[in-house]
Structure 1
Amino acid sequence: MEILSSRAILRPADPDAALAFYRDVVGLAIYREFPGGTVFFLGNGLLEVSVHTHEGVTGSGLQLWLQVRDLEASHRELAAAGVTVLREPRREPWGLDEMWVADPDGTRIVFVEIPPEHPIRRDVRGD
C-alpha cells in the first residue's frame, strides 16, 4: 500500500481552547482551514484540530489520517491481513472517500482517497 500523506487528528473536548493553544501558544503555522477545523504544519507532519465528530466517536481522542492512492485496493489488502475494519469505504459528505480501521490497541485510523475533483487537489494559487 502506498501512503501519500498523513496527519494526526485531535478531536478535543474544547476545540476553541485547543485551536488557541496550538496556534497562539505553540505557534504552529496553519496549513489549511475548513469549517470546523484547522490543519497545522507539525514539523514533517500535519496536526488537524477538528470539531467534526463521527458516529461511534465520543469525547476527545487521537486518530491517524492516512491518504492512499487506491482506497479499494487498500481495503482488500487490510481485510486480507485480518485488520479490523470499523467502516467500509464510502464517500463522505465533505467529498473524501474514507474507510475506518482500528489498530491492535483500538486507535482509529482513517484511510482516505481524495477524488480528482475535490478542492484539496485543486491548485488555488490562480484563484
Structure 2
Amino acid sequence: MDITINASFLPQTDPDESLAFYRDVLGFEVRKDVGYGGMRWITVGPVDQPSTSIVLHPPAVDPGITDEERRTITEMMAKGTFAGIVLATKDVDSTFERLQASDADIVQEPTDQPYGIRDCAVRDPAGNLLRIQQS
C-alpha cells in the first residue's frame, strides 16, 4: 500500500484571524480560500510540502450534528480541548520566539520531554492546540 496524509482538518471560529495566524505567523501558504453558504473554508500548508494541507473549517457544520453537540464542540474549542495537531521544525526555539513575538496564546515554552522530544505548545485563534516539535 502507498498511503500518504493529504489533509487534516481544524475548526476555526474567525477565518480572518485563523488566516493571519497560519499565513503570517507560521508562514504557511494559502492554497484555497472558499466561501459557501455564508461560511469559509481555508486550506493552508507548508510551502515546501505541496501535498500536505490543513483545512480550516467552520465548526460543527455537519448537518447530522445536533444543537447540543454543536454547543459542546464550541465549548470544547473555547477551552482548547477539541482539536489539535503536531507540527515539526528544525529549530523549535526560534520558532517559539516568533510565536511569542506574535502574541500567540502560549501553552508551553520549549521543553525537553522525558520521551526524547524537544517541543513547545501554542493555541491558534480558535483554541486548537498546536504542539511544535524539534525535527
> Shared topology, TM-score over 0.5?
no
Q: TM-score, normalised by structure 2?
A: 0.42
Which structure has the highest helix share of the two?
2
Q: TM-score, normalised by structure 1?
A: 0.44
